[in-house]
Amino acid sequence: MRRAGPTPKSRRDRKPLFRPDEIPAVNWRYKHTALALCTLAFTATMVARLVISPLIPQIRLEFGVTNATVGLGLSGMWLAYALAQFPSGVLGDRYGERTVILTAVGATAVASLLIAASPSIVAFIVFAVVLGAGAGLHYSVATTFLTRQFDDIGRAIGVHVAGGPVAGLAAPPLAALVGSRYGWRAGIALGVAAAVPVFVLFAWRVRPTEPLRPDQAMRERFAFGPLAELLSRPRILYTTALATMGAFTWQATASFLPSFLEFGTELSTAVSALLFSLYFLVHGATQPVTGSISDRIGRDATVMATMAAGVVGYGLLVAAAEFGFGLPVTVVGVGFVGLAMSWGAPLQSRFMDLLSDAERGAGFGLVRTAYMVVGASGSVVVGAVSDAAGWTVAFGLLAGVMGLALTALAANRLLGLGY
């Protein structure tokens, strides 16, 4: 006869392995899925913009226009992208981040398709501006969304912003390859191919988000007084100035680093293109690292390290061009420049630290618009300086801009200015 023993507990009486607030898997899986899809969305919007540049010669021949005319469309695209940052934050507060991000990715796909089908140069320019405005809805809103998912926001922002350099590494050569075989319209269509799958995945896997200010009138969000007050706060103004110098340098580097390498250091076109890819590779790989480091040792110390890397990197490139130091010094210089351009993760995290939860959506979009619009002049200024005084002077200017930012950071830290 079997001995009587304690009766097994019912399922209801059994103690769960985890309390509801101790179950890490669900939260971990969702927030990292959200981060991955936001990063892919940023990559898709960047791919759609970057595939145009390698195809400019074919586009110019197709429509019988000058490089300046096609450049006008690209300038309009980047300006529309910068100007969309602030309205995107307002729209995110009004309708929820998920809706705005899906709109951005969907608009990117539609605008890319329209550009590929452009019947005239006027249509091309108009659709390029539409692409910039649509793609510009993504970044500020996605960054705000991610700050709600993560405590270590520097790392999250670093991973997110790395989506841009990943696109810069892959999109231009792929567009050139496709364009050479199937024509420039097929190359532009790569933007559609990148955006559509991301749109489907994001709609499927990211949960709806509640808007923060669904009932506030839009005209109140665009009132001049509150906007001026936010931008004029000393610490916000100081951080915006630093970001403007960073954006100025990034824009000039993205526009002219291949030309500097080819004509300033007299490297071949193929080697210059390879080093440009190396720049994007280092730039993308170091963004999550600098963001994570800023969570641990502080934003300012990390930004100082990136600006110091810029002084060294641009200095090495200038020295290689001026004194003929050769390929090894140039490669090291490009690596340091790639590290320098990872200023975005810690500096954008600094903005988030200074903004309240209620201000992050529209506020971050506002400061993004401010520093990107001014920073966009980097291409024009460095291009003009290179025409007037040569490539070494032009890239020496970029070393000076990085040095100015480093000096401002050091003064704030050593003198205890409180910015």
* CA–CA distance, 61 with 159 (Å, rounded to integer): 39
* CA–CA distance, 154 with 149 (Å, rounded to integer): 12
Structural domain contains residue 347:
yes
168 and 267 part of one domain: no
Helices (H), 117-233: 121-135, 138-149, 153-161, 163-182, 184-188, 190-205, 218-221, 224-232
Q: What is the H or E stretch that residue 289 is in?
A: helix 269-297
Structural domain contains residue 43:
yes
Structural domain contains residue 16:
no
Structural domain contains residue 13:
no
* CA–CA distance, 354 with 352 (Å, rounded to integer): 5
Report the candidate in 385, 355, 149, 94 with the shortest Cα–Cα distance to residue 240: 355
What is the arithmetic mean of pLDDT over 311-335?
93
Whole-number mean pLDDT of the chain?
87
Domain containing residue 63: 26-222
90, 116, 176, 192, 307 from 187: Cα distances, Å: 33, 8, 7, 10, 35
140 and 43 part of one domain: yes
317 and 375 part of one domain: yes
Q: Choose the weakest-confidence range: 69-78, 90-99, 233-242, 280-289.
A: 69-78
Are 113 and 61 spatial neighbours (Cβ–Cβ below 8 Å)?
no
Show the tokens assigned to 405.
């930012």
Are 389 and 318 spatial neighbours (Cβ–Cβ below 8 Å)?
no
232 and 257 part of one domain: yes
Which residues have C-beta within 8 Å of that of residue 6, sequence separation ≥ 6?
none
Structural domain contains residue 276:
yes
CA dihedral 225, 230, 233, 236 (to 10 degrees): -150
- What pLDDT, on a 0 to 100 scale, did the predictor assign at position 277? 85
If one counts every other C-beta atom within 10 angstroms of the C-beta of residue 16, the result is: 8
| Overall number of domains in the chain | 2
Residue where a domain stops, chosen among 201, 222, 243: 222
Q: Taken in order 310, 312, 313, 319, is the CA torsion positive or negative?
A: positive
- What pLDDT, on a 0 to 100 scale, did the predictor assign at position 123? 95
Are 66 and 73 spatial neighbours (Cβ–Cβ below 8 Å)?
no
134 and 236 part of one domain: no
Residue 221: pLDDT band by 50, 70, 90 thresholds? low
* CA–CA distance, 61 with 50 (Å, rounded to integer): 19
Does 140 score more than 50 pLDDT? Answer: yes
Q: Between 137 and 14, where is the model more confident?
A: 137
148 and 277 part of one domain: no
246 and 383 part of one domain: yes
Structural domain contains residue 407:
yes
180 and 229 part of one domain: no
Residue where a domain stops, chosen among 205, 222, 239: 222
If one counts every other C-beta atom within 10 angstroms of the C-beta of residue 75, the result is: 18
Please give the backbone phi and psi of residue 83, each rounded to the nearest 5 degrees, phi first. Answer: -70, -20
Residue where a domain stops, chosen among 160, 190, 222: 222
- What pLDDT, on a 0 to 100 scale, did the predictor assign at position 304? 97
Q: Choose the weakest-confidence range: 107-121, 143-157, 332-346, 372-386.
A: 372-386
* CA–CA distance, 261 with 125 (Å, rounded to integer): 29
CATH code, domain with 180: 1.20.1250.20
What is the arithmetic mean of pLDDT over 256-273?
85
Burial label for 183, CB within 10 Å (0-12, 13-18, 19+), is: middle
Are 395 and 260 spatial neighbours (Cβ–Cβ below 8 Å)?
yes
183 and 261 part of one domain: no
Query: Chain-centre distance of CA 380, in angstroms?
Result: 20
* CA–CA distance, 269 with 135 (Å, rounded to integer): 30
329 and 351 part of one domain: yes
Are 241 and 343 spatial neighbours (Cβ–Cβ below 8 Å)?
no
Q: Choose the weakest-confidence range: 19-33, 243-257, 347-361.
A: 19-33
Helices (H), 189-268: 190-205, 218-221, 224-232, 234-259
Q: How far apart are the first and last CA of the chain?
A: 82
156 and 186 part of one domain: yes
Report the candidate in 213, 183, 188, 159 with the shortest Cα–Cα distance to residue 40: 159
Are 140 and 92 spatial neighbours (Cβ–Cβ below 8 Å)?
yes
What is the arithmetic mean of pLDDT over 404-415?
95
- What pLDDT, on a 0 to 100 scale, did the predictor assign at position 348? 92
Report the candidate in 198, 250, 266, 272 with the shortest Cα–Cα distance to residue 398: 250
Structural domain contains residue 201:
yes
134 and 197 part of one domain: yes
Structural domain contains residue 141:
yes
